[in-house]
Amino acid sequence: MNERFRLLMVDDSPDDRFLIRRALVREFPELEIVEVGDAAALARARVSELRRLKFSTRKAEYIRDLGRAVESVYGWSRTALIFTAAGVIGFLASNWAGIPRTVGASGAVFGLLAAMVAYGRDRGGVFGMEVFRQYWQWSLVLFVMGFLMADVNNVAHAGGFVGGYLASLALGSVSRYCAAHAGGVVVVVRPT
């Protein structure tokens, strides 16, 4: 039985879609590719009829937003250290598990998610629990999606998450650092 697959490719860059299409058609000439470049086209696409659903993006707006969130909590230098530690630990975990190729920064991105999970738990209260829930759910959904797609290195994702969590606990958030080094001095500024 020769089954033909359809692929929904979502990417806002026509140049990226062209390059991806060219590479896919070279390897899978029988593949039917439906290109979507914006939200309106995605809404019109008949996703339910597609056998494969694959999203491709190079811009990764959500990763940029995640980086900004982590930077607002931990500061730039700690964010860079968390990202690096998570990437290294994710790579080491992947190597230890015997996975032959590890490519990309997704383990480090999982480390940034873990940093926000750690911040939410550490901060506590209603706000802290909402931060914790949001980023924990996001982490779980992305981790499960990794099992649903081919050639995803979930060991690196798990290692990156653990590395990011441990690094964020070791480094501490900016607010925790400032509170620990304030020396008990409270300054109240009142507008005149």
Question: For the segment 107-140, what is each residue's pLDDT rounded down to a tens digit?
Answer: 888 999 999 999 998 888 899 899 899 999 988 9
Considering the domain architecture, whether residues 127 and 168 belong to the same structural domain is answered as yes
**Sheet hosting strand 32-36, strand order edge to edge:** 32-36, 6-10, 52-55
Q: Is residue 164 predicted with pLDDT exceeding 70? A: yes
SS3 content of the chain, % helix, strand, coil (to 5): 65, 5, 30
Task: Say whether 55 sits in a helix, a strand or coil.
Answer: strand
Q: How confident is the model at residue 42 (pLDDT cuts 50, 70, 90)?
A: low
Span 178-187, mean pLDDT? 46
Considering the domain architecture, whether residues 48 and 129 belong to the same structural domain is answered as no
Considering the domain architecture, whether residues 123 and 85 belong to the same structural domain is answered as yes
Considering the domain architecture, whether residues 46 and 10 belong to the same structural domain is answered as yes
Considering the entire predicted model, what is its pTM? Answer: 0.61
Domain with 119 in it: 61-179
* Confidence (pLDDT) at 53: 42
Instruction: Convert the pLDDT of each residue in 52-101 to its tens digit.
Output: 344 444 445 666 788 888 888 888 888 888 988 898 999 899 889 888 77
- Residues contacting 30, CB < 8 A, separation 6+: 2, 4, 5
In terms of pLDDT, which residue wins out, 105 or 182?
A: 105
Give the separation between CA 70 and CA 66, rounded to whole angstroms: 6
* Confidence (pLDDT) at 181: 44
Q: Is residue 192 part of a domain?
A: no
Considering the domain architecture, whether residues 118 and 160 belong to the same structural domain is answered as yes
The number of folded domains in the chain is 2
Span 188-192, mean pLDDT? 48
